[in-house]
Structure 1
């Protein structure tokens, strides 16, 4: 059998066996077809001497709301080694009929959840502070059922963005996932800061009530104000009782969201014991400037979708959270007009470096970006074994590092040599393939 590609001389990273093995790896028709010390005939041979050959990274929490920009976010993720990404988080993201015409040929494997806030808008609810009526909730159920039937990966809530969402509204939608295979609920909890543990309790009870897998989104950005360790302990205690839960985190002590959201309603300073100077404008006419009373008022009134970076979290808590054995790395990447937070371009190399600094081995660190999120989302990828999807990132362990900064938010990382998606060469030394290599992912009804 002639291989499509043989990666020769690299060190194979196995996040499940926690091993590093000098081995060659071959791919045929999008699958791993050879692992060993020989040199089978191949159409393409990659010399990976001195490099690590890892499963492609999996980002279970990113955003893809700007449908007219098909490349910026996907390119930023792909250049880090991300081969599979899941959008539609925090209650946002397009419905299938909206994204399908715009994403027929993605650069990586791309899946979507169905967002609660999007459902609200689709049935005519424009006021984020108003609970849905019973009639509106029934209409949302019809839409959600249709999306799930067509292959949506699940349901996402952004309860901090729709802060008065009622328990009845949540339960009516969550109930539609009961009995469906491989569908989960992800939740941006209702509160950050001092009330965050109330938000954690709410989602634990939701998962317990419906026996549906639930992922707590970017748990660090919600709880790293002195509460992160307790939040993680609560989730782990619930898991020990049989509640099906997980959580993710990104490796920055600053979050990013839209200035017009409820997150920045007056009084936000008290929650974080921080002020306007701790807020950095990430997009629009004030980009790069720290917030002032004048710019705050202007953006809230005239540019509510402008992104704001809030430098308000505790870095030590973020690092501790990332190193927890149950924590998946996820970018929460979001852009507005190609501008935003460096997490869109730097999350995975940065997180892996932090985990190595915390004392994790390379296989253990890589597990947080591969087999762990794969298991959380029932994905076939996440490990390189015979017959597995040929999603591969080849990187230099000594050189891998993020370069994106708050000033240069999309600077690509260093140290990523090659990325393969379904066995197709997607990245070669910082250059993306001219033809998209990905595909859309859907769940079976």
Structure 2
């Protein structure tokens, strides 16, 4: 007798993505869609007993950088370990299409510099079987995956495609070039781009230290691109900026003109700067002003500190600016460790570390009062007194001595967590306030990027476990947290066919042992093309992850199923 359904998840505590209270329910799936929710009488070809477990829609991560990895890898890890069933890439204005043959290396250098993805891995991994953005989508579509994937048109690649070296030199686009960008933008949206992204931050530089090509793009250029989206009648705009001027209102006034002309939805990255701890409230107020004027505007925020992991395996240590360390930086960890255990080398490095360092990066790498042993399980809300600076003060030593000892302990695999945003008061109250705003989205995890420094693709797991269960005070409702990382994100990028557990919706689900849910400590692996390294961070507590009705991961291990597909453009409910 034929089964009624392909898969039935039985008796779970359902958080359906709408924010409604948890309820016990069965979820039946057939032909990649949800066929029934509630008390399901029929039988499934496969059934999962979810009694006592949390059942959620698959998580929708709107801020990743799998642009290169997705062309050679069918498993978008680490995100797929953390319940993500749809990832959106092409963020921050960087990516690999459109591209001319002579500009390929320029885009690799931009991605390596902005997103810390090894250039050698990109050189070997990228096959460059495309020129236009539509051809890039075709290449992505040819590979099955463990999750669905959507792509956005990056300003850096678009500008270089149209202007060549003049784009890299930050020259102004001509009227003809703006018209070409407008046409190419419309073409990309019609081919299936979910949106357009741009960056105006000095933090985004190529591996050679040059600014991102879109840094000083004129309003006329941005307007042309926005009108290209209007021509196509689709796509969201993502905007990243330092907002360093005394008058960020002027930049938001420009944004309003772009939105007035295009009518497109918009998001901007938002975090707490330690130098201006309350400045984010001013920027969020400007987003709220756009909403009040009738625009769909959101700020993308993070659920924990934004920071880097430093260590002998990582891309940086607090000694990376010292000549003695630079000389051994590229050596294997075991060899580096042996050198650092030599008292003579230690004395030399300590002497060099006393010299004044005058760059923002140096200051960030040596902010000992905001440097913590990451630990296992990792602690992303550590108390101030546990910092290396505080410990050193108690012991009457210089912090760099403690840091040095920590780095060479064991096998050199220790990581230091160094938050540089969202942690001015040594707690995450600002993140709570940001997340609770109706004008924000949970994002900025950067899955697939900053692979030698950051491991924030674990945000979905942390969001639920820390804010929904573990935080001593200020815990947030689990059903509401699920909504924030499912339906809210899906709708923000036009994916109205997912993000909720309802009849007719896409059959993307997670089955979670909520009591056991947690992020594991990150580890460094050398498994990228050309032996490139990347930080990977797994999770515990995911009993099953389901994409289009197929179980892709069971108890954290891949099943072999690859039902994930490219998502072209907005999806109807």
State TM-score, norm by structure 1: 0.82
1:434 maps to 2:546: no
Match of 1:239 among 291, 300, 316: 291
Relative to structure 1, is the Cα distance of residues 237 and 292 closer, same or farther in structure 2, using a 3 angstrom cutoff? same
| Aligned-partner Cα distance in 1 for 2:510–2:190 | 33
- Corresponding residue of 1:175: 227
Relative to structure 1, is the Cα distance of residues 295 and 164 closer, same or farther in structure 2, using a 3 angstrom cutoff? farther
Map 1:289-438 to 2 at 5 A.
289=318, 291-292=320-321, 310=420, 314=424, 315-335=428-448, 338-350=451-463, 353-354=466-467, 358-379=474-495, 380-405=497-522, 409-438=535-564
Task: Choose 100-109 or 422-431, whichever is displaced more.
Answer: 100-109
| Aligned-partner Cα distance in 1 for 2:254–2:518 | 37
Task: Choose 47-56 or 237-246, whichever is displaced more.
Answer: 237-246
1:132-187 per-position Cα deviation (integer Å, ceiling 9, x unaligned): 23333233233222212211112111122632111111111111112544411111
Deviation at 1:39, TM superposition (A): 4.2
Match of 1:149 among 190, 208, 230: 190
Relative to structure 1, is the Cα distance of residues 121 and 254 closer, same or farther in structure 2, using a 3 angstrom cutoff? same
1:89-141 per-position Cα deviation (integer Å, ceiling 9, x unaligned): 11112324235325522221101110111101212445253332333323323
- 2:481 is paired with a residue whose SS is helix
RMSD of aligned alpha carbons: 3.3
| Aligned-partner Cα distance in 2 for 1:68–1:366 | 26
1:56-107 per-position Cα deviation (integer Å, ceiling 9, x unaligned): 1111111123247644971211111111111111111232423532552222
State TM-score, norm by structure 2: 0.65
Deviation at 1:437, TM superposition (A): 1.9
- 2:458 is paired with a residue whose SS is helix
- 2:514 is paired with a residue whose SS is coil
| Aligned-partner Cα distance in 1 for 2:166–2:419 | 27
Task: Choose 242-251 or 83-92, whichever is displaced more.
Answer: 242-251
| Aligned-partner Cα distance in 2 for 1:223–1:113 | 32
Gaps of 5+ in 1: 257-279, 299-307
- Corresponding residue of 2:170: 129
| Aligned-partner Cα distance in 1 for 2:192–2:467 | 35
| Aligned-partner Cα distance in 2 for 1:248–1:93 | 19
| Aligned-partner Cα distance in 2 for 1:290–1:386 | 56
| Aligned-partner Cα distance in 2 for 1:422–1:223 | 45
| Aligned-partner Cα distance in 2 for 1:215–1:385 | 27
1:8 maps to 2:10: yes
Gaps of 5+ in 2: 98-133, 202-212, 328-417, 526-534
- 1:79 is paired with a residue whose SS is helix
Does structure 1 conserve the Cα–Cα contact (< 8 Å) formed by 2:62 and 2:489? yes
Does structure 2 conserve the Cα–Cα contact (< 8 Å) formed by 1:204 and 1:235? no
Does structure 2 conserve the Cα–Cα contact (< 8 Å) formed by 1:220 and 1:321? no
- 1:147 is paired with a residue whose SS is helix
- Structure 1 or 2, whichever has the larger Rg, is 2
| Aligned-partner Cα distance in 2 for 1:335–1:317 | 26
Relative to structure 1, is the Cα distance of residues 125 and 426 closer, same or farther in structure 2, using a 3 angstrom cutoff? farther
Deviation at 1:327, TM superposition (A): 2.2
| Aligned-partner Cα distance in 1 for 2:24–2:15 | 9
Deviation at 1:412, TM superposition (A): 0.8
Relative to structure 1, is the Cα distance of residues 403 and 284 closer, same or farther in structure 2, using a 3 angstrom cutoff? closer
